[in-house]
Structure 1
Amino acid sequence: MDKIIKKIISILNKDGVVVLPTDTVYGLCASFESVKAYQKILAIKGRGTEKLLPVFVHCIHKAKELAYINKEQEQILNVFWPGSITCILKSKVKNLNTIAIRIPDDKLLLKILLEFKKPLLQTSANLSGLNPAKNVDEIQKQFKDNFVKPDVIINGGNLSKTLNSTIVDLTKKPYRILRQGKSYILVQKTLERISA
C-alpha cells in the first residue's frame, strides 16, 4: 500500500494524472496546483474549460483554505463529509468565483490526500458525454484511442453499484441540489431541516 501511495504521489508531483477508485466512481485525479495537470485531465476527458473540475480535500480545514465557509455551512458539511456529496462554495482562490469541494469517504484517497498535502482536481474517469467507467477494462477501452492517456490506473475492482456524487450549491439560500447521485436522500433531508 505504501509503495503504491509513494508512486501515486511521485506522479502527481510531476504534473501527472492518476485514475483512482473512489467512494463513488473511478476518478481522474491530479494536483490542484498544476496548470499542466489540469490541461492534461481536460485533454484525456475530451472536455472544454466551461465546467470547473471539483476538488478533493482531506479535511474541513483544507476546504476552508479554498472556500468561504460560514457556521451554518460548516454544520452542513460536517453532516455530508466525508462522503459522496460535492458542495459548491464561494471561492477564495484567485480567478474563481465558486469552487466544488468534497472530502471522499475512501481510505486510500484520504491517505493520498494526507501525504500529498495538496488538494486534488478530480472528475469521473470517462470520455466527456459517456457514462463513468465501472472497472479498469472499461477505463482502458474508453481511453485507448486517446493521444493523451492517464499516467497510471489503480485497480479498485468493479464499481458497478456506485453512482456519481450528489452536487449541492451552498453559495446562496435557498441551497439547491444540482445533481442527484449517491447520498441524495441524506442531502434532501438535511436541506429540508435547515429551511424548516
Structure 2
Amino acid sequence: MSEDAIQAAARALSAGRLVILPTETVYGLAADAGNPEAVAAIFEAKGRPRFNPLIAHVATAAAAERLAVFDDAARALAQAFWPGPLTIVAPARADGGVCDLARAGLDSVAVRVPGHPVARAVLAAFAGPVVAPSANRSGRPSPTTFADALEETGPSAAAALDGGPCDVGVESTVVSVLDGRIALLRPGAVTRDQIEALVGPLPADQDGAGEGHRSPGRLTLHYAPEAPVRINAQGASDGEILLGFGPGVGDPRWTLSATGDLREAATNLFRLLREADREHPVGIAVSPVPMLELGEAINDRLRRAAGFVG
C-alpha cells in the first residue's frame, strides 16, 4: 500500500468522509469517531439501527486508554491480544473523543487496536479514533474481500483501500470489563479458552449480566444472505447449496474446510455465504461445526444468519 493512498485515506477521514478500510477480521466502513455527521453517514450507508454501538479503532493501547477507563483486567487483555481481533468494552471517558452517536448513547465505549498493517498505518496517519463497522449493508454477511466491500458500500466511500483477503474472516471478539465483571459479549478469533486462561471463568451466556446491548453484532437476524440459511444440516435438500465442513462432506467448491480446520472455516464463512447467495438457491444449508474454540464464533454467526439466537 502506497504512502500516498494512506495519506489520502487519512485526509478523507479528517474531512468527515467515509473510507473502506481493511482489517484482519473483515473490511470496515470507517469514519472519524468524534464527528457525529460522519458517524451518521455510516449508519445511513449501512442502513444500520442507531441503537447498535460502533467500535472505536485506534493505533495503540495508550490511545485506547485515552478513550476508555481500563482496570487491571482490561490492561491484561490488551497486552495479551493487541494488536489483534479483540474489542474491549470499558467505561467511556467524558473527554475521550468518541461521539455519543458512535456509543449509541451508552456510558461505555468499545475499543480495539487492529492488527492489519494498512489499518494501523491509516490510524497512525489520522491520529485519532476511527469507527469502522463491517462495510456491508446492515444484516448482510460481512465483506472479507475488497471486491465484496466495494459491492456493498463502495458508492458511499470517498476512499477505498485494498488490503487483500482478510486473514481472520469473522468480526472481533468483544469482551466487556465493567464494574469488576468480565463477560464475553461476542465470540471471535480470540477464544473463550484464551480469555479464561488470562482472567478466569466467564459467564456461560453472552448477555454478560445484562451488558449484551453494549456490543455490536447481536441483532437476531444478522450476517444473513438473501437465501434462507439452515444450520446443522446433514445434507442439502432440493435446490439448496450445502456448505460442507470436514472430509468428504459436500461439493469441494462449497466446503468451509475439507480438513475440518476451524480457522480455515472462519476465513471462508462469509465469502462462501455470499458466493452461494449469488447462485440464487432455494436455501443455503450448512454442515454442523463443532462448538470448540473458534467454532463458538462460527456458530454464533450462523445462528444469527439463520435468524435466531442460540
Q: Give TM-score scaled by structure 2 length.
A: 0.58
Query: How far apart are residue 87 of structure 1 and its match?
Result: 0.6
Paired position in structure 2 for 1:137 = 147
Q: Deviations over 1:134-153 (max 9, x none)?
A: 22222233237xxx612222
Once residues 33 and 152 of structure 2 are traced to their aligned partners in structure 1, the CA distance between those partners, rounded to angstroms, is 24
Once residues 152 and 158 of structure 2 are traced to their aligned partners in structure 1, the CA distance between those partners, rounded to angstroms, is 15
Aligned pair partner of 1:183 in 187, 190, 204:
190
Q: Deviations over 1:35-69 (max 9, x none)?
A: 11101111111012101111001112211111111
Once residues 93 and 45 of structure 1 are traced to their aligned partners in structure 2, the CA distance between those partners, rounded to angstroms, is 27
Paired position in structure 1 for 2:20 = 19
Let me know the Cα RMSD of the aligned residues.
2.1
Matched, 1:111 2:111: no
Query: How far apart are residue 174 of structure 1 and its match?
Result: 3.3
Runs of at least 4 residues of structure 1 off by over 6 A?
A: none
Once residues 125 and 28 of structure 1 are traced to their aligned partners in structure 2, the CA distance between those partners, rounded to angstroms, is 5
Change (3 A) 1:173 1:130: same
Q: Which moved more, 1:46-55 or 1:74-83?
A: 74-83
Specify the SS of the correspondent of 1:51.
Answer: coil
Once residues 106 and 158 of structure 1 are traced to their aligned partners in structure 2, the CA distance between those partners, rounded to angstroms, is 11
Q: Which moved more, 1:168-177 or 1:35-44?
A: 168-177
**Which of 1 and 2 has greater Rg?**
2
Query: How far apart are residue 187 of structure 1 and its match?
Result: 2.3
Query: How far apart are residue 107 of structure 1 and its match?
Result: 1.5
Paired position in structure 2 for 1:28 = 29
Q: Deviations over 1:54-88 (max 9, x none)?
A: 10011122111111112332122211211100010
Change (3 A) 1:43 1:77: same
Paired position in structure 2 for 1:126 = 136
Once residues 146 and 119 of structure 2 are traced to their aligned partners in structure 1, the CA distance between those partners, rounded to angstroms, is 17
Q: Give TM-score scaled by structure 1 length.
A: 0.89
Q: Deviations over 1:77-105 (max 9, x none)?
A: 21121110001000113654000000111
Paired position in structure 2 for 1:55 = 56
Matched, 1:92 2:93: yes
Query: How far apart are residue 160 of structure 1 and its match?
Result: 7.2
Once residues 146 and 11 of structure 2 are traced to their aligned partners in structure 1, the CA distance between those partners, rounded to angstroms, is 21
Q: Which moved more, 1:15-24 or 1:65-74?
A: 65-74
